[in-house]
Structure 1
Amino acid sequence: MNENQKDTVLIVDDTRSICILVNAALKNTFNTQIANDGEEALKIAFSDNPPDLILLDVMMPKMDGYEVCARLKADQRTKHIPVIFVTAKTQFADIKKGFEVGGIDYIMKPINLPDLMTRVTARLNLENAMKANQDLRNKLNK
């Protein structure tokens, strides 16, 4: 990614107020997309322009966030996309399950927006550094 291009964050939550709040916090720094359920999230993730990171609620109708994450991680096209759970499910078993299905972080509601911004920024900086490192390795090996 070039320096002028913003990373894209997909916000997945069935609560409209959460989507509005998180989008408002991130939209000046990142490109944002919103999905209101798991099926919509998968459709966006499997598109020609997948997000760079997904913020994913757990408790949603039809398909919960754990199932969405498991499907993302099972597919070659999307297994590399980092997923951060953002949820009110705070029991140890819930957090453990989030990591077991492939999440890389777990943020509890109510959302602390500065903490969310710090975690999203740090993870995307790490992802971009790893991509740049791999690109450099590929060039050196040619």
Structure 2
Amino acid sequence: MAGRKPFVPTAADRKLVESAAAFGIPQDEIARLITNPQTGKPLAAVSLRKHFRIELETGATKANIAVANALFRAATGSGKGAVTAAIWWTKSRMRWRGDGTDPEDETPPAAQTFTFVVKDARRPATDPDGSE
């Protein structure tokens, strides 16, 4: 049987393609990053899709999961940025709005005042009558 051996992706190729797909790099640009050892030339986009279908299809989802995990840890933690992450989470995931309006309502909100009570974990809790 004459001809070239089929292209066989390496683990490093797979990792590169998955990462590039996760970052939203177009497939034709990703294909130029993979060299076919048989020809010494970049892989054709059609070959990229043939050999790296799973990486192309799952890269963005895996990246979204990693970012969501990091954001969730930040939003539920107490470190720097926890409040910002929690606000973003409630607005984007829970569809809360700081103005008290319905997210589907396009009417501009009236000026409203909100009061937030934050417990200071360094001080002992007190009952409403002021006793501990």
* TM-score over 0.5 for the pair: no
Larger radius of gyration: 2
TM-score, normalization by structure 1: 0.26
- Structure of greater relative contact order (alpha carbons < 8 Å, 6+ residues apart): 1
